[in-house]
Amino acid sequence: PNQYLTAATATTTRVKAAILDTGVDCTHPDFMNAGGTSTDTAAGGQISWSSSEALVATTISSPACKWEDDVGHGTLTAGALGAATNNGVGIASLGFPLQLVILKVIDSNGEAPDSTVAQGIEAAIIAGAQVISMSLAGEGYSQTLQTAMDSAWQHNVLVVAAAGNNDGTTLTYPGDGNHVLTVAATDTDNASAGFSNYGTWVKIAAPGVNIESTLPISFGTNYGMASGTSMATSFVGALAGLLYAANPNLSAAAVAQRIQQTAQTSSSGWNQYTGCGLINAGAALAGTPGSAIEGSFTGQVVDGSNNPIAKALVTAGGQSFTTLTDPTLE
């Protein structure tokens, strides 16, 4: 009680979390806070209309906003990350005190060129987002995306991306890049979801099976169930936003580190299926380390000639993992 937003208290000064996806249903009632009449943060809603934009055009006829969701995926991920909470309808979200910056970078066919995604990252930085959530993945390396993610890191913006849903070790971008927190999915038993990709590049895990979230009203129903690393990514993005809100002076590296250090794990530490474990929002906000991951170390990885190495496979405490950041090991 008295901890949730209303139309009167949902100001435009809240931490911004950018969602790069297919857009969002900008008239959905579950993005309006109690007493509100609009989804716009300027009127007590959850979405920053002034910061949101469409980098690819929607196919919706006479859309209510330029970034109107014509696929449904973006509305699902946005709901999990930042739907209004305690407004008397629908679902609750982990990132309820955040405001959402919607950047439509995926077209109606579900396609998103690297250049468009990179433009979305830069737009999020300019909009003042402190978290960028990307529930998207594609095979192969992209220097265009890496350059954009480097820019986000330099601006103290944490990028969160999905590991992918192929139940394999195929590297996907942007998840396999530097300066990104890569998210695997867990099931209803808190075990690795059967579809979730795995490998040395997985950093953290979050719930990703049978997640109820928002759907565009045009679909004929306002809500639906979804599974995938896309949904898991939204939860990690929401938690990152909460940490920025509670600790305004934290760096992107510190936020990522806090999420990993406080994760719950049934193993002796990191593993290729869930990374450092399943996120624990309460522990992360309290700064309570998990049982298996109680510390960290920093340093510069170099080659035999003392030249900095951007990314390396490191073994410590009997566990092997790739460096999270370039060039600092976290």
SS3 of 57-122: the string is CCCCCCCCCCCECCCCHHHHHHHHHHCCCCCCCCCCCCCCCCEEEEEECCCCCCCCCHHHHHHHHH
Say which residue the tokens 């942007």 belong to: 174
Query: Which is the catalytic residue, given 73, 135, 196, 326?
Result: 73
- Mutual angle of helices 229-246 and 73-82, in 10-degree steps: 40
Residue 28 is a catalytic residue = no
What is the DSSP pairing of strand 313-316 with strand 158-162? unpaired
Neighbouring CB atoms inside 10 A of 91's CB total: 17
Check 21, 30, 70, 114 and give the catalytic one: 21
Give the CA-trace dihedral at 249, 128, 83, 49, to 10 degrees: 150
Sign of CA dihedral 207, 209, 210, 216: positive
The closest of 259, 223, 263, 235 to 82, measured between CA atoms, is 235
142, 230, 234, 326: which is the annotated catalytic residue?
230
Give the pair of three-digit tokens for residue 134. 């990307």
Is 21 assigned a catalytic role?
Answer: yes
Catalogue the active-site residues. Answer: 21, 73, 230
